[in-house]
Structure 1
Amino acid sequence: MATEITNATTLSKPNSAVTRPLKPLTRAYVTFLAGDGDYVKGVVGLMKGLRKVRSKYPLVVAVLPDVPKEHSKILADQGCIVREIEAVSLPEKYQNQFARAYYAINYSKIRIWGFVEYSKMIYLDGDVQVYDNIDDLFDLPDGHFYAVMDCLCYAYNQRCPDALQWPEAELGPPPAIYFNAGMFVLEPSLSTYRDLIRTLEITPPTPFAEQDFLNIYFRDTYHPIPPIYNLVIAMLWRHPEFVELERVKVVHYCYAGSKPWRYTGKEENMDRDDIKMLVKKWWNIYNDESLDYKNYVCSTGGGSYRACEPANLLTSPIRGWRPSLRNGPIGHLDPF
């Protein structure tokens, strides 16, 4: 039996004992972290990348309960606002319906629509890095869902007999314009949050999970933004004619072997000069101690990242509905 969605106060009001931002915030970046693996390195790199490009807005990290407290402290010490959420749990029997079984946990991204103390947020996966300021995206007109178009031959190549096929019988034709869900601009809303959960309960499973689900849900309000805001790294060899590497603001290291903190260069397509350059660029930011929160605050007098204190930033969990699904998709971290 699924529990009831709790009231708006429970969804958005943090524990009163928690250190809060020093001034009201209406905009923020947000990412998602699950488990005790090494993805925490990606989130640290992302925080330092936002700091390097002098973003005006903080980074909220939505963490599941299985994230070790040590990892949460690492993130808080880097100036992140760490927010615990509950997982969106799906039955195990659906896990063989998806391109990767581990995609399941990423449906928990839906919880960020409950962060209603923010009027607008930019979601970034933990394997994303920001190389130029993208604060301008917060000024896009309200009422739309913004993301970068994805390559359908990457996910659902209809010309390849071995490729995954869109479940047209269950869901109708695929969206005319399909986006990558590793980066998007959203407006938190309790009504949208509740409707996402209700819709998820009746949505058949699809191979690319929460990315497919969000494409279906926002198909009527989606507006594409230029690909410089989310370079899916496989575009370098699949569609080089569309890549302007010198103009790219955001790189999404979402292909097998491309995670900088795991990079060996041995996997397919990973021994390319452009890949090596982008991996080195990520490490330059990650290893730059001047971008650590404590050093940045000391050298700048606080700057835009004085908005939150690094100690005790863990908020209470969002208490939401754990859907008991007869049919439902499973989420993912990277669409490879």
Structure 2
Amino acid sequence: MRRNGLRILVIIPVYGRSSLPTGAFITTAEYVSGLVAAGHSVDVVTTIKEPGEVYREGGVRVWPLRQWRRAVQASAPELVISHHGDRKAPRIIARLGRTHHLLMVHGLADDTDLGRPALVWFPSAGCRAHYPAYRGRALVLPPPIDPARYRTTPGTLVTLNGSTTAKGADVLAQVAEQMPDTPFLMVRAAGHTPGLLPPNVEVMDRSDPRSVYARTRILLMPSTTESYGRAGVEAMLSGIPVLAAPLPGIREALGQAATYIPREDTTRWVAELRRLQDPATYAQVAQRCRAHAEGLDYPANLRRFEVECRSLGATGARPAPALRR
């Protein structure tokens, strides 16, 4: 008779205490927490930022890459979960025989070959559409976003969560130059130094998300590419208005609650920011944003992902074979 929980191995670049992770890694960590809470046994192998030794965090055993063979032997996984684009994961997965594989696709990658996993997770239909050649089983499910992690009292700054052109740093610089009396905040992308910025733009290192939103009055998302608008949802949980480029993934995440502006139309970005300087207008938009974010079902997203993982186990998953060195 089969026990209730699966043995699951997650292969992910970073996990937990080893970094201040980006949205993709936070999303996976949230799903992992849901799997542990549902009674599954989860081990994680990190492929970039390696802890010195094995450690436990939140019921998960975390292994550095150099110990991946020990991780496989100790966990005997019936399901393996990895990220598309992680170049170190495939060589481990290739050694796992017929163990079921769930591939998580967090972005719109140039490499559109997803291989033949048992299941592919996408954060939005827009992201799924980017991979038309994939014909296998797919799960389109929004990232789980825990309100308790993000809710705060909004601050006073106009914020961009990223310092690259892909996140809209060029648009923020142009807008800030036209609004010298408005304070702006740019959160530095990992390993990236932004170019010359107007003096009214403060740059801060990546930090706890709540501390960023506690300084934020309005969030800008003039991105060139997004598979989902996670940062917008996070901000809206605190009633922070979001101005965003009209990308499919962002529209799926933010619906009618955001204000959409073509990223190259700097005049419109400035006009909308000035419109939100009116307290009554700001309050109305903030309420709309808060209502939208509160309508998203965080526990249901965790449950749906867990059900899909459990269903893979019910289709005859075979534990990973013993490995030879």
The normalised TM-score by structure 1 is: 0.31
Task: Decide which structure has the larger Cα Rg and report it.
Answer: 2
Higher relative contact order (CA 8 A, sep 6+): 1
